[in-house]
Homo-oligomer: A and B are copies of this chain.
């Protein structure tokens, strides 16, 4: 395996794969990051061409692990130096990555991925080999996905302790707009309003503010890269959020109650807790490669099930 980009996600993945006994090497543009990774005992280089030649020689799987705004250069180099290898990624939008690859590398082998894991920290110093343990890992699944390539990417997720959620790229982007990108925007709004008060308010801030604004602490460039690359889906869920908050404000002003919003929120949170209590239900009765396997995986994933091999 070869990881291009050794920030929080890519660096943690290189650690996890290496520590699990899989030959893994990585590339990062910054020599400081490469030095840090090397000092920690990992196989890293800041020479992209040499890295990609090594990929071609060893038929490694490439994992793109840089912000979506920076992948064009990487994909162009892959076309030049390692055009035949399987490419996946760990980027938080799937349609935009697919668009870039289709445009620059139309004959390339690509299956998208997105591990649902992270912290509000970034960079090699924040990497952690256990980051993906028990996480959900979305693996894109279109009607044209070849079975072997899909299995190779899905097993990469399993190797680091994740469970696989098979998903179409557009369904992925709509889902993460709601459960990942929107929470960054509501956290930012909540933090901004609290921060606009006196030092008194921030001093009194406790658990609800601490947890509700945590992801606002993520590096702004990383937040913008994912949210802005998923603009249409984010616009939809953001508009729905605004509508719900306006309805709550009107209820509170006109009738003195926030019952509807609080009850809806409590019901949704309970459903989330219920779904995540205990082990996830697994996808059953599908043999990857048989007719219609992609649709059947996606159908079961839509019910909240996961693929575990």
Residues of A within 8 A of B (CB): 116-119, 135-136, 138, 165, 167, 171-172, 174-176, 178-180, 182-220, 223-224, 227-228, 231, 234-235, 237-242, 244-246, 248-249, 252-253, 256-259, 261-273, 275-276, 280, 301-306
Contact = CB atoms under 8 A, between A and B. Distances in A.
B239 A249 contact: yes
Contacts of A270: 217
B235 A268 contact: no
15 contacts: A138-B204, A165-B200, A178-B196, A180-B209, A186-B189, A188-B261, A189-B248, A192-B261, A192-B264, A200-B302, A203-B306, A213-B269, A217-B269, A227-B252, A235-B253
Contacts of A202: 179, 271-272, 275-276, 304
Given A179-B201, A179-B202, A248-B189, A212 B214 contact: yes
Contacts of A175: 197-198, 200-201, 204
A185 B194 CA distance: 13
Contacts of A231: 252-253, 256
Q: How many identical subunits does the complex contain? A: 2
A189 B267 CA distance: 11
A194 B179 contact: yes
B192 A265 contact: yes
A258 B224 contact: yes
